[in-house]
Amino acid sequence: MTDLDLLLTLCQRLLDTEAVPAGWHPGHAGTRALRASTSDHGEIIVKAHRSPERHTQEVHAYHTWIPALGDRAPRLLATTDDPPAIVVTAVPGVPLAERQLDPEAEQDAYRQAGQLLATLHAARPPRLEPDWTAWLAERAEYWIYRAGDQITASRRSEIRAHMQALRDLAPLPARPCHLDFMPRNMIYSDDGVVRLIDFEHSRYDLPARDLVRLATRIWPLRPDLRDSFLDGHGSLTTTDHAVMEHCAHFDALTKLCDSSSPGGGAVGELELPSYGREASHPT
């Protein structure tokens, strides 16, 4: 049975026996997704998770904080643990990463994205326990081990110094986070509305972490999008910028390990994150 057949069978078992395939999405980082047409719910997405952990996280997010986004995110329709998969409503549009927009429209999209992320972060009360700075520092050690000789000894020391500096900021409140907040997960519709998808990484974490990938991969070349995003999101504190600076090194490390798996890379391939003085200056 192909992946498409498996997902269609799941949809027919969980939701609509008459469902028919409408599109196939190879997914990202090991996930698979089928778009199908149903009689009662219109077009839906059947998503198979790569692990029970990702499945549990996404189901929990849909039950707890995603409803705060209203119609700016999919609705959960059905779940199954064997195999780990969910069925959600399909939202109209295509990923923002695939749209060619004029600067004004793109700035408006990022303004909406900032508003949505702020809403997500405020969807549940903050938590001070567990200490996420300590957890991230411990995870960094795991990724340093995974990287092996792809990074130099001096780079390992630099990452550890940033993780210690992050721990020195504790205690920091954790909030519901997306943790893969990138244009591929921002769906832009024909009427210019932005919606969020893909919550398999979502959990309580340091909210400033959600901005790291934008700050290091997009904003250095597009400061106008940074300004628009913060116009919707709200200004960042000095602590937010410090968290982003330290976590940028963590993100660069995990990106290296993910991109080099299953193959390896050469010594010192870890790129320095593009989060310098100008980007980290508090607004």
Round to whole Å and give the CA distance between 90 and 173. Answer: 33
**Domains in the chain: boundaries:** 3-89, 94-280
Give CATH for domain 3-89.
3.30.200.20
Sign of CA dihedral 52, 53, 57, 58: negative
Per-residue pLDDT tens over the stretch 83-111: 999 999 999 999 999 999 999 999 999 99
Q: Give the mean pLDDT of the chain.
A: 91
What is the DSSP code (8-state) at residue 166? H
Which CATH class name applies to 94-280?
alpha beta
Q: What is the pLDDT of residue 26?
A: 66
Round to whole Å and give the CA distance between 43 and 262. Answer: 35
Per-residue pLDDT tens over the stretch 158-180: 999 999 999 999 999 999 999 99
Q: Mean pLDDT over residues 181-204, rounded?
A: 97
Helical spans, DSSP H, in the chain: 3-14, 52-64, 103-121, 132-147, 153-167, 212-217, 223-233, 238-260, 277-280
Cα–Cα distances in angstroms (integers) from residue 276 to residues 151, 166, 190, 237, 282, in the given order: 21, 17, 36, 16, 12
Per-residue pLDDT tens over the stretch 1-32: 688 888 999 999 999 899 998 887 766 666 78
Do residues 26 and 32 touch, judged by C-beta distance below 8 A?
yes
Share of the chain above pLDDT 90, in %: 80
Round to whole Å and give the CA distance between 155 and 179. Answer: 24
The reply to whether omega before 83 is within 30° of 0 (cis) is: yes
Q: Token pair for residue 206?
A: 């340091």
**Statement: residue 274 has pLDDT above 80:** no
Do residues 29 and 258 touch, judged by C-beta distance below 8 A?
yes
